[in-house]
Amino acid sequence: MRSRLTPDDLRGAAAALAAQALGLPELARARTVAAYVSVGAEPGTGALLDALCARGVRVLLPALLPDGDLDWGAYTGAAGGEGSLARVRHGGRMELLEPAGERLGRDAVTEADVVLLPGLAVDGRGLRLGRGGGSYDRVLARLERAGARPALVALLYAGEVVDRVPAEPHDRPVDAVVTPEGVRRFRTP
């Protein structure tokens, strides 16, 4: 489905996604949000990230490490200038936009009040299907080990909320999924 989206579709969906997400009470109360910069035809996060920064929220963005785990850095927003993000190619894999500044360590995510998660689908149980690299599985395990309980929110398109995804014993459900069309909750805030 994502491959059929036009640039206009992507822009419109990103604006609608930001509007839906910014209405979440979890984001309204958040002081720190761990997020990500969307790639390709993923639901766009740029407008949402900048709106969070404009609210005074501390936004943490991931930097992919060679072992597939994630380090974190602060995002200062579009007003922070082009130096806020750097294009990083990871081997023959993908090119990502990552925070250009100081790395805060793998455990920085444990300070987040909300963690925005990418994915391919979420099912009726709130279980998220990722891209298969395990980076966010490591993040969720780290949060659990630290006793951190941020709100977990997946950002998807409406057609990606499905009946069932494959699950493993370590999978942790998200609290909500936000699409350009609305919010579906799996737990109350």
Around Cβ 81, how many Cβ atoms within 10 Å? Answer: 10
User: What local confidence, expressed as pLDDT, does residue 122 receive?
Assistant: 94
Separation in Å, CA 111 to CA 91, 104, 115, 138, 140: 30, 11, 10, 16, 13
Q: What is the mean pLDDT of the chain?
A: 90
- pLDDT of 76 reads 85
Per-residue model confidence (pLDDT) at position 83: 58
- Confidence band (pLDDT; 50, 70, 90) for 138? very high
The single-letter code of the amino acid at 163 is: D
pLDDT, tens digit, 9 for 90 and up, residues 38-55: 988 899 999 999 999 999
> Percentage of the chain surpassing pLDDT 90?
69
Rounded-to-integer distance, Cα 21 and Cα 70, Å: 23
pTM of the model: 0.92
Q: Which pair of tokens denotes residue 51? A: 């709106």
**The two three-digit tokens of residue 143, written as one number:** 């949060």
Instruction: Considering only residues 95 and 7, tell me which one the structure prediction assigns the higher pLDDT.
Output: 7
Triad 118, 20, 15: Cα angle to 5°: 80
- Over residues 61-93, the pLDDT tens digits come to 999 998 889 999 999 877 555 558 877 777 766
Cα–Cα distance measured from residue 14 to residue 155, given in angstroms and rounded to the nearest whole number = 10
Task: Please indicate whether residue 185 or residue 168 has the higher confidence score (pLDDT).
Answer: 185
Question: Domains of the chain (ranges plus CATH)?
Answer: 2-185 (3.40.50.10420)
What are 91-112's pLDDT values in tens digits? 766 778 888 888 999 999 999 9
Residues 6+ apart with CB under 8 A from 147: none
